[in-house]
Structure 1
Amino acid sequence: MTGQPGVDIPDARGRTGLDLAGRDLDGNPRVRVREVRVLTSNWFVTRTTTFDFQHSDGTWTTEHRETYDRGDGACILLYDAEARSVLLTRQFRYPVYVNRHPDGMLIEAAAGLLDDDAPEAAIRREAEEETGRPVGEVEHVFDVYMSPGSVTERLHFFAAPYRRGDVVSGARAGLADEGEDIEVLELDVDDALARIGVDIIDAKTIMLLQWAALRGPFAAARS
Structure 2
Amino acid sequence: MSIKDRVRMRRETLLSDNWYVLRKYEFDYLRRDGSWQPQVREAYDRGNGATILLYQPERRTVVLVRQFRLPVWLNGHDDLLIEAPAGLLDDADPAERIRAEVAEETGFRVDTVRKVFEAYMSPGSVTEKLHFFVAEYDPGARAGHGGGVEEEGEDIELLELPFEQAVAMMASGEINDAKTIMLLQYAQLHLFR
Structure-1-length-normalised TM-score: 0.82
The aligned residue for residue 110 of structure 1 is 85
The aligned residue for residue 173 of structure 1 is 147
SS at match of 2:158: strand
Q: Which runs of 5+ in 2 are unaligned?
A: none
What is the CA deviation profile of residues 51-105 of structure 1, one whole-angstrom value per residue up to 9, with x for unaligned ones?
Answer: 11111111111111100001111000000011110000001111111110023x0
| Larger relative contact order (Cα-Cα within 8 Å, sequence gap ≥ 6) | 2
SS at match of 2:147: coil
Residue 38 (structure 2) pairs with residue 62 (structure 1): yes
SS at match of 2:82: strand
Moved more, 196-205 or 146-155: 196-205
Task: Output the CA distance in 2 between the equivalents of 1:157 and 1:32.
Answer: 33
Residue 68 (structure 2) pairs with residue 92 (structure 1): yes
SS at match of 1:28: helix
Task: Output the CA distance in 2 between the equivalents of 1:130 and 1:90.
Answer: 10
The aligned residue for residue 208 of structure 1 is 183
Contact 2:146 2:158 in 1 (8 A): no
Question: Which residue identity lines up with residue 214 of structure 1 in the other structure?
Answer: L
Number of residues paired by the alignment? 191
Note the C-alpha offset of 1:175. 1.1
CA RMSD of aligned residues (A): 1.2
SS at match of 1:196: helix
- Structure number with larger C-alpha Rg: 1
Structure-2-length-normalised TM-score: 0.95
The aligned residue for residue 94 of structure 2 is 119
Equivalent of 1:143 in 115, 118, 126: 118
Runs of 4+ in 1 over 2 A off after TM superposition: none
Note the C-alpha offset of 1:171. 4.1
SS at match of 1:126: helix
Moved more, 41-50 or 26-35: 26-35
Task: Output the CA distance in 2 between the equivalents of 1:176 and 1:63.
Answer: 41
SS at match of 2:183: helix
Please state which structure has a larger fraction of its residues in helix.
2
